[in-house]
Amino acid sequence: MFKGKRLWLLFTVVIMSVILIACGGNNNGGDSNSSGDSNAADNNANDNNNNDGNASADSGDPVEIRFAHEEGSGDVQDLYVNKFKEILEEETDGRISVDVYTAGTLGGNDDLFTQLQTGAIEFAISSPGFTGTVIPETQIMAVPFLFSDNMEVNKEVLDSSEALYGPLADKYEEKGLTPFKFWLEGFMYWTANKPIETPEDMKGLKMRGMPTDLIMESYRQMGADPQGTDSGEIYTMLQTGGIDGQENPLFYVYSSKFYEVQDYLINSKHHIYTTVTVANSDWFSSLSDDDQQLIRDTIQEVNDWSFDMQQEEHDKAMAEIEKSDIEIIELTSEQREQFKEATMGVRDAYKEKGGEAAAEIIDTIAQEIEEAEAAAN
Ligand code: 6CS
């Protein structure tokens, strides 16, 4: 299966590269650099590949960044990438330009990773929910009830974890990618066409999650019938009964209109939605030292800014969803404890299926969360 998929992805990437060269980016109204520039960027790209990482470009060189993400216009990832664009283009008077690609423009969610590896794009927001097959260790982000109920604690751990920026980042580097920052998009909610209050209620439910083994395993352990799909298929499958429910942060439940085709919204906080800002390593290391530092500083600034932004998007979504017909269920701490107990086996599954560094990663991050929670109390 994987071999056929690789060929297909390679074919997709070739086609995508042709399209990228031909049309040169932006589908969401941002400034678009005309085709002339994109050729320059591609030339740069070619240079990069054969410079084995020595800083070659003079810091005054124009730099074009094709930055793809997994969400729609105005969603959390889109606001993040456009903030990055705004700061960098302003800081460099447009010498560094950023073309933003929203979900579906360059193929499915899991195509982004391959396009990043081949250099068809320079940057992406690439969620671990779609990369678990290529880097099993990323599935640490799929372990339910591992992160804290205190979002400040999660922000701190995602920003500085030795597990994430040590052994896990090494796994990205092995794939030719540089992960800059892991960050969060909010607590996960369930939507479903029936109330979910205990693991018993999950029995046989076709629950959609991102197509990574450990997310599927989590629903299997809750007794559900897990369905891994691309994000573009969720709405129609909910509407047609192909799936009974799904998990996502609230802003996405709202912007994707899932609340229109579901009867129940369950505030489960069984997980947080995490993602990572990542670039093609060869391309990044070909930039001047100054530009590398400028981009790192910009990502830190945007990352810090995104924490309040995602909370605001959550609150805006809740205000709108409360006006709709969907019934909102708040799980009690006892009910959440039942789901936590039902999924504790996922931690062992991660150690088994999560790759060679899995045990070190989960033990380290669990301790980091515990220490940060103790410090916060
Ligand atoms: O569930 C999904 O597949 C999508 N959810 C979010 C919050 N972002 C992108 C992802 O593709």
Report yes or no: 72 and 255 within 8 Å, Cβ to Cβ.
yes
> CA–CA distance from 208 to each of 123, 145, 229 (Å)?
27, 18, 7
Residues 6+ apart with CB under 8 A from 133: 2, 110, 212, 213
Tell me which of 27-31, 180-184, 243-247, 251-255 is least confident: 27-31
Strands (E), the chain: 63-68, 96-101, 123-125, 177-192, 206-209, 225-228, 245-249, 264-267, 272-280, 327-330
Q: State pLDDT tens for residues 51-86.
A: 444 444 456 899 999 999 999 999 999 999 999 999
At 4 the pLDDT is 59
Residue 13 pLDDT > 60: no
Give the lowest-confidence range in 43-57, 194-208, 278-292: 43-57
Q: Is 191 in the pocket of ligand 1 (CB under 6 A)?
A: no
Residue having the nearest C-alpha atom to atom 1 of ligand 1: 231
Q: What is the pLDDT of residues 95-131, one digit of tens each?
A: 999 999 999 999 888 899 999 999 999 999 999 999 9
Kindly state if the Cβ of 248 falls inside 6 Å of ligand 1.
yes
Q: Which of 69, 210, 258, 306 to mutate to test the pocket of ligand 1 (most atoms within 8 A of CB)?
A: 210
Phi/psi of residue 179, each to 5°?
A: -85, 120
The proportion of the chain whose per-residue pLDDT surpasses 90, expressed as a percent, equals 82
Q: Which two tokens stand for residue 257?
A: 């209109």
Hey, what are 292's tokens? 């590398």
Residue 238 corresponds to which tokens in the numbers above? 């909910």
Binding site membership of 148 for ligand 1 (Cβ less than 6 Å): no
Q: Is the pLDDT of residue 303 over 60?
A: yes
Q: Is 75 in the pocket of ligand 1 (CB under 6 A)?
A: no
- Confidence at residue 36, expressed as pLDDT on a 0 to 100 scale: 42
Please count the residues of the chain: 377
Q: Which are the contacts of 31, defined by CB distance < 8 A and separation ≥ 6?
A: 89, 97
Average pLDDT, the chain: 89
Provide the pLDDT for residue 146. 98
- CA-210 nearest atom, ligand 1: 3
**Local confidence band at 9 (pLDDT 50, 70, 90 cut-offs):** low
Q: Which residue has the higher pLDDT, 33 or 143?
A: 143
Buried b / exposed e over 330-354, threshold 16 CB at 10 Å, is ebeeebbebbeebbeebbebbeeeb
**Pick from 155, 113, 94, 91: nearest CA to 295:** 91
Nearest CA to 18 out of 106, 125, 133 is that of 106
Q: pLDDT tens digits, residue range 148-175? A: 999 999 999 999 999 999 999 999 999 9
